Amino acid sequence: MTSSTNPAIVATDLRKSYGDKVVLDGVDLMITEGTIFALLGPNGAGKTTTVQILSTLIRADGGDARIFGHDLTREPDAVRALIGVTGQFSAVDNLLTARENLTLMADLCHLGRAAGRRRIADLLDQFDLTEAAAKPVSTYSGGMRRRLDLAMTLVGEPRVIFLDEPTTGLDPRSRRAMWHIIRALVAEGVTILLTTQYLEEADQLADRVAFLDHGRLIAEGTPRELKRLIPGGHVVLQFADQEGLDSAARTLQAATRDDAALTLQVPSDGGVGSLRSLLDQLDSASISVAGLSVHTPDLDDVFLTLTGQPDTRAGRTHHERASAR
């Protein structure tokens, strides 16, 4: 699979609990250098805890992890020299300006004065913050703050970047801008571990995706592989009244009906041919359809299938992790 390339992050059997609450229940990760790995999961799945452990912020109760071969617990400073973290809650100094924040980072990364200034000017420019550079961060919008946050992470030119929900709370335009920045980073060879609740984000950005649920990885693979885990797409037919729904349901045996919404869900690959034959079938039965939408499988379906129906999960494919211990 990826054994021929260089692993940036390797974690084995990470465990963490707070009191009785098990947050991570044996998580394994293998992330190749120069790729984006997305950790997907609902709130409380353990995404942030995973990032906190891998970025040396907290210690795991069990298991071990290495970043470019450096053990997290034995050589934390070697690890810290390689990584950068942009958390869910902005890690900027609100009392300082953007330039002062970046200068603080440059000084802490021990960049020389001239090198530091150059790097800061470049980052301000790259993140579109030059104009606001002299204003206190407390006056910034959410998007600007997030950009500054990431710019601060980049001052030390980390080789591994942890992005914990980098676009949560951002408007669509800022989100696109952030995606653009993330893609550019990976193009330069940086390795990124991204956590997100947005399946579209993982689909857009990630080379590999893992689903985290209740502290366990329940599936892992490329977005394409994961989408193959669930049955194909479907067509949703909307009807004006109960009568239409009834007659359509009689005609299309394989469909699932929703009486409250007056819709019928028909399995389909979403192709033009199958759509045409579906419509022909309805026409010949003189059933009028009020609306139609084609639904191709996305990661949302994968996630809901994997987490919503735990009974049907076991033994589906080799991508699945055994959840029983």
Partner 1 sequence: MSTISLAVRDSSTMLRRNLLHMRRYPSMTFLLIGIPIIILLLFVYVFGGTLGAGLGPSGDRSQYANYVTPGILLITVVSAAQGTAISVAMDMTEGIIARFRTMSIFRPSVLTGHVLGSLVQTMLSLAAVTVVALLVGFRPTANPVEWLAALGVLAMVTFALTWLSVALGLVSDSVETASNLPMPLILLPFLGSGFVPTDSMPAAVRWFADYQPFTPVMETLRGLLLGTGIGNNATIAVVWCAVITVACFLWAKALYNRNRTS
Instruction: For the CB of residue 9, give the shortest distance to partner 1 in the complex, in Å.
Output: 14
Q: How far is the CB of 77 from partner 1 (least distance, A)?
A: 5
In the bound state with partner 1, the residue whose beta carbon lies nearer, of 87 and 233, is 87
Q: How far is the CB of 90 from partner 1 (least distance, A)?
A: 5
Q: 3-class DSSP state for residue 195? A: strand
Task: Closer to partner 1 by CB, 195 or 263: give it.
Answer: 195
Question: CB under 8 Å to 217, separation ≥6 — which residues?
Answer: 27, 28, 29, 210, 211, 321
**Cα–Cα nearest to 150, from 184, 115, 114:** 184
* Rounded least distance, CB 95 to partner 1, Å: 5
User: What region does 179 belong to: left with phi over 0, alpha with psi -120 to 50, or beta?
Assistant: alpha
Within 10 Å of residue 169's Cβ, how many Cβ atoms?
A: 13
Rank residues 70 and 313 by Cβ distance to partner 1 and give the closer one. Answer: 70
Instruction: Quote the least distance from Cβ 96 to partner 1, whole Å.
Output: 6
| Residues within the interface to partner 1 (CB under 8 A) | 18, 55-59, 77-78, 80-81, 83-85, 87, 89-96, 100, 104, 107-110, 136, 152-153, 156
Residue 20 vs 311, nearer CB to partner 1:
20
Sheet holding 7-18, edge to edge: 21-32, 7-18, 62-67, 70-71
Which tokens go with 108? 């802490």
**Nearest distance in Å: CB 76, partner 1:** 9
Contact indicator for 55, 83 with CB cutoff of 8 Å: yes
> In whole angstroms, what is the distance from residue 321 CA to residue 271 CA?
32
164 or 320: CB nearest partner 1: 164
For partner 1, the closer CB: 58 or 314 = 58
Q: What is the DSSP string of 148-215?
A: HHHHHHHTT--SEEEEESTTTT--HHHHHHHHHHHHHHHHTT-EEEEEES-HHHHHHH-SEEEEEETT
The nearer residue to partner 1, 104 or 289, going by C-beta atoms, is 104
Do residues 229 and 219 make contact, with C-beta atoms less than 8 angstroms apart?
yes
Find the shortest distance in angstroms from Cβ 232 to partner 1: 42
Amino acid symbol at 258: D
Structure tokens at 145: 């703050």
Question: For partner 1, which is the closer residue by CB, 87 or 223?
Answer: 87
Determine the Cα–Cα distance for residues 160 and 132; give it in Å rounded to an integer. 28
Residue 296 CB, shortest distance to partner 1, in Å, is 38
